[in-house]
Amino acid sequence: MGALPKGRALVPGCGSGYDVASVACPERYVVGIDISEGAIKRAIQLFSSSPNANHFIFLKEDFFTWNPTELFDLIFDYTFFCAIEPEIRAAWAERMSELLGPDGELITLMFPIGDLIDGPPYKVSISDYEEVLCPLGFKAISIMDNELAVGPRKGKEKIGRWKKIIKNSTV
């Protein structure tokens, strides 16, 4: 899959914080946000004494209204997209575009790929992501099966890497 970008990273809908703690390192400061106070309390309880605890923070925030002071070099969406109602996916893409720095990368763990009637989680497809990201200038750098998916999820997860393509203007 290649190395993850260094710098500032965001994990929206971070839940119990496992992804936040696992990608945090001296070269990558990670902000995990979740609207659930219970999830944030659990994340703090689980990871506050972690050896890399000074490389991440958990905040109770609403992804759609939160205004951080700096943009991010990496946003890792670990099934956050499938947890929101399909009607607000365009707003999700807008926020991703607003929060990601000019050379930033968006990584999406796409699940569940396949048949699912109700949600959350809501069924997703690669075209669901393309439909909302491409009009905002995002281009898929790679989309591949998640080789690390756990047993029952094998073949139902994909990992997408997306970059915002800045069009050069001619003067």
Q: What pLDDT is stored for residue 169 in this prediction?
A: 45
Tens-place pLDDT, residues 123-168: 888 999 999 999 999 999 999 987 777 777 777 788 899 998 876 5
pLDDT in tens, 108-134: 998 876 666 677 888 888 999 999 999
Is the model more confident about 118 or about 66?
66
DSSP the chain: --PPPPEEEEEET-TTSHHHHHH-BTTEEEEEEES-HHHHHHHHHHHTTSTTGGGEEEEE--TTT---SS-EEEEEEESHHHHS-GGGHHHHHHHHHHHEEEEEEEEEEE--BS---S-SSPPB-HHHHHHHHGGGTEEEEEEEE-TT--GGGTTS-EEEEEEE-PPPPP-
What is the pTM for the complete model shown?
0.91
Q: What is the pLDDT of residue 111?
A: 81
